[in-house]
Structure formats: C-alpha cells, structure tokens
Chains A and B, each alone.
Chain A
C-alpha cells in the first residue's frame, strides 16, 4: 500500500492504495472522478488524458504513487454544465463529439496542447522547427492525433479547437 498526496482540480486528496493503481484508476475508482475515461489502458487511445503539472499525459500509463505532491487537472476541473470552459463550449457548439467517451480526453489534450503551441513547440508537420505561426488545421490534427475518436468527430474537433486557438495562439512563433 502506498500513501500518495494528489491535488486534483485544486483539492488535495490523500490516497491509500495498492502501488499498482494507475493515476487513471485512482481518479476513477478511488476519487470518484469518472470524467476521465479508460479506452484501452495501454496509452494507445488518449481517452485517459489529464493535465499533470501543466502537461498532458496518458493517466493510464503512470502510477498514482509516482505523483505524490503533483497537481492534476481533469475534465471536471476545466468546467461544468452552466460554466463550461471556452473549449468545452466550442465542442458543444461544433458537435465535436458523438458518443462522448473520448471527449474528456480530447478536451484535456486540447487545453494543454494550446499551451504547447503558445510555448512555440513545433510538431511533426511544422515546416520549420521554430514553431507554428498560428495553428493550421494540419497542425491541430497532428497535435491531436494522440486522441482517437471512433465516432470520428475529427472535422468538428478541429473546428472547435480552431475557434478557440484562433483567439489564443495567433503569432506564437518564438
């Protein structure tokens, strides 16, 4: 058994759990935060994406006990019905989901991805390594390719992110 202190969406939790418990299962099965989803449990789909210490990661491929003292943001922390974040609202407006199961992962991923782009990180499709000049559809698609969607809402996911990115990432080249 391991004791781990996790700060999740601003609230501190003291978790006593088997060392095998992943951050994903800690959130879902131990802390009652079922917004983060298990799609494959092996880092192959991105449905479990959360933001840890400001970075998006697959919570299924990390142990809860490895995150003692860390700040975790889950989908529940980004907004709630009646008070949705810009991205959450954009996903609703653009129908960036269908069954909704990959959606929390998509939104956490996109939230953090926009910060990566603002920091000037290049991507696989960037023409030069200086970093993107705004985010083209191709940039958004590549940066979001770690989040599978079988309902295949991709075109609308890109539309939703583009709408928010446009306001946030203009001219981020370093």
Chain B
C-alpha cells in the first residue's frame, strides 16, 4: 500500500470539499483490498463514515430511501426491505459473507470493482487498470468474464448482487456533486459498458458523493433472486437473475429482469421484458425470451458455458415466477 494521508469528513460539505484530490472510504472492503495490491493507490483518503447517511426511510411517494452508508446487512434485514422489496434482501444475503456484509455500504457496493484476475494482478496488462496496456483476459482464463456488452478493450464483469436487484427495482441513485448540487441517476445509467474506456466503471466524476439509493413504491409481483456460483456460498455469481414478475390471471402483466455476472454492469434488456408482457407463460415463451437476451451473447473460451447456463436459469426463474399455486 502506498503511503497516503487520511482525513475524516464530518459532514457532506466537508467531504466534498476534500474530495478533489482524494478517494472516499466508507466500508473499505473493496478499496483496501485493491490498495494492498496497489491496483488502486490514492494519495489521500477521506473517511466518510461520520456522514449522516445511514438512515432508511419511506419517501413521500411511498418509496424507500436507503442512505449511502447503510450497510448491506442492515439493508437486507430492514423490515421494509424484507417486506416490500424482498428481491433486494435476497440479493444482498446471497453476496459475500456475514462479516463483509456488516461493513460494505450501499454506496460502496455500487462502486465495487471487477474481480477479473488480470485486473487484480499488477504484473498483467489490463486496459481497465492501465488504459492502452492490453487485455490479458480475452485470450486467457475468462471463466468469470462477460458474455454481453463487452468490447475489444475489456471483457470484465461487475460482480455485485445488490445492484442487480436494484436494477430490477428501477432504483435511482442520488448523487451530490462538488458544487453541492444533487441529481438522480437511474441505476441503469450509473454503471457503464467498457467501450473504449474500460477504466471507467461508472458515471461518477471527481467530487461526486453517492448519498442515497431511492427505490420506487413497492410493486406487485413475485420477486426472485437466483444466484449460480462455483460453490454453495461465499463466491461471486457466474450468473444471477433478479426477477419481478406480476401475473394478471393467466398472462404476464409485467416483468422486470436484471442479470448479474454477465456484463460490465447489471444487465437489463427491455426487449426481453416486452416479449413476455401480455403473454401466457410457457416453456416456448421462456425460450424466446432467452433467445432475445442472448442474441448477441459472446463467449471468450472459458466462459462459453455462461450462454447455455443463462438460458437455463432464465427459463427456470420465469417458470418459478409464473407458477400458480406457489406463494409470492
């Protein structure tokens, strides 16, 4: 770890004022991991744990505002989250370990960096870590890498679970900038695709401070989070699905589907959802949905299996979500 100066912020203004040449640290479970390897090497850390951002409260329109410093554990255990947004609780509980969830924050978890083995190894070329140096994963071992939305520069995936559920829930991210202005960014706009600039994971710029995640009012429908990984627990998703499906009698009234482990960001495809709405559930329909989702899917050798895996998982989740007689 490179030497750095450590400062604490007492409030938002204080944090943002110091942020110009510094990196925020909240839970630190991802940042410190990377700093020890000098994958990230900030000169200055601003500890924002004293900021007043740990509250979960109902918003005026009946949605839920989750403060950026709310820990993963507290969010998952919150009664309103469990009751009204169970897919979020399930997704968080599927991630990491009890210890890590107790420390990881809502804001920090959105910013979690990729687990690509070559990104993590400073002896390896990596366009995300060092733009222009190359991508060692593409011709290498890429089991955990993207099958959707990748570019010639980078095939890394976003590894988190919470954000996948939030994507299905149409969450918005509240950000305060260096000028003290607050804006809301739809979560689907928050994370970026790698394109030509894989060094950028998301739309945050210097000084930006995530202050909250806002969930819309609770929606109807069955909520499922399915995670597939290489061991029973304490492992990242090879593929995950957050699904919120509402039935209207025999037909699908609405479907929100977000996918993890497949791309540089939680993946959502409106065409897949549109295909399902108004239709009667059937294996044939689900197969078409999978076809649509995976039309442009590309494997890179070690992750080819993610294509049939995602197909199977999606179809299974849709079956479970539209199954009559099973409780919501």
Contacts and interface: CB of A to CB of B under 8 A. Distances in A.
A and B touch in the complex (CB under 8 A): yes
B1 A20 contact: yes
B33 interface: yes
Interface residues of B, number: 36
Given A20-B4, A57-B103, A66-B49, A146 B32 contact: no
A66 B320 CA distance: 44
Given A63-B6, A66-B28, A66-B47, A55 B97 contact: no
B94 interface: yes
Contacts of B102: 55-57
Interface in B78-107: 79, 82-83, 86, 89-90, 93-94, 96-100, 102-103
Contact of B233 (A56, A63, A124): A124
Contact of A62 (B1, B83, B97, B103): B103
A101 interface: no
B40 to A, nearest CB: 13
B253 interface: no
A170 interface: no
B327 to A, nearest CB: 9
Given A58-B99, A145-B97, A146-B98, A121 B36 contact: no
A19 interface: yes
B223 to A, nearest CB: 10
Nearest to A50: B99
Nearest to B26: A66
Contacts of B73: 55, 116, 121
Interface residues of A, number: 40
Contact of A66 (B25, B76, B77, B86): B25
A3 to B, nearest CB: 11
A55 B73 CA distance: 10
The dominant DSSP class at the A interface is loop
Nearest to A145: B233
Contacts of A150: none
A104 to B, nearest CB: 13
A133 interface: no
Interface stretch (A40-48, A92-100, A160-168): A40-48
A122 interface: yes
A18 B289 CA distance: 55
Interface string B31-61: 0110010000000010101000000000000
Interface centre among A46, A49, A62, A146 (most CB of B within 10 A): A146
Nearest to A116: B98
A1 to B, nearest CB: 10
A124 B100 contact: no
Given A42-B33, A62-B103, A65-B6, A129 B86 contact: yes
B234 interface: yes
Given A20-B1, A43-B100, A122-B89, A61 B94 contact: no
Interface string A34-75: 000000011100100100000111100111011000000000
Contacts of B97: 46, 58, 145-147
Nearest to B31: A61
12 contacts: A19-B4, A20-B1, A20-B3, A43-B99, A57-B102, A61-B32, A61-B33, A65-B6, A124-B90, A126-B93, A129-B86, A146-B100
Interface of B: 1, 3-6, 25, 27-29, 32-33, 36, 45, 47, 49, 73, 76-77, 79, 82-83, 86, 89-90, 93-94, 96-100, 102-103, 232-234
